[in-house]
Structure 1
Amino acid sequence: MNTLTAQRPTGAFVGASWAALFVGAVTYVTGLWNAQMALNEKGYYFTVLAFGLFAAVSLQKTVRDRLEAIPVTGIYYGLCWVALGLALLLLTVGLWNATLTGSEKGYYAMAFLLALFGAVAVQKNIRDIALFERLNPASSEADA
């Protein structure tokens, strides 16, 4: 028996989640913009960020779907894990072989991880708010 309960995330957590996503992504992209590397390298790192963000959100959605008894095929669930692992591996290999200083490598790694965390938290908040509003329609109307 699967009973759904919902709590609305606090405004502070919602704000912190969006801030983590934007600070991580903007910091990462700003670093790429100002980097002294070839355009194809910048494209590689930007693509890894976009791929990682998509993979993290997709994985969070499939995990949440399974928790809410929404059908998710095993192959898609597995592909989400593989995609997130590949994004992390591609960033790791790229930074390991890059001719950047250690502090620059750490900068990109931390901005990347912050953006991934933010994307997962934002997706979680969106789902929590939607579930809360679906289960508590009177509360949603009072907020409007």
Structure 2
Amino acid sequence: MIVLFLCILAIFAGVLVNAKFRVFTFKTCIAFSLLLILSVFCGRTLNFYATVPYWDKVLHFESGFIFARAGKELYLRLGGSLEKKWLSLCFSLFAAISAAAIWEIWEFAGDSLFGLTSQNNSLQDTMLDIILGSVSGAIYSLFLLF
């Protein structure tokens, strides 16, 4: 139950920070919150990573869409324009790719420092996770061209 409480606390803190700075839309905040609950609470606490086939892969794929959308919103918040389609595409795509890489660095740090097994001691798992987040980010970003 402490994990669920911490998830809710993190979501609440994120909503408060976003309310102050208004970087992301409400839908994106909900998507981030859902990703947090699915990965931390369902994945770790309810052991979905071990019991639900491809749980990790689904989350990494979904995260690419969420981080690409967040990248687009950040680009617009910084004064960018959707009329510059290639620039908005690149910003969104690079946000998704960067987030995928940072996520894997986070998993590596957790595995190294706390003896977790997030990466399954496998370079193949790490690379596939980054690829899944990048591909879904590319799919989202390509829709910005239309």
Instruction: Report TM bin, short chain.
Output: 0.3 to 0.5
TM-score normalised by structure 2 residue count: 0.39
RCO higher in structure (CA 8 A, sep ≥6): 1
Larger Rg: 1
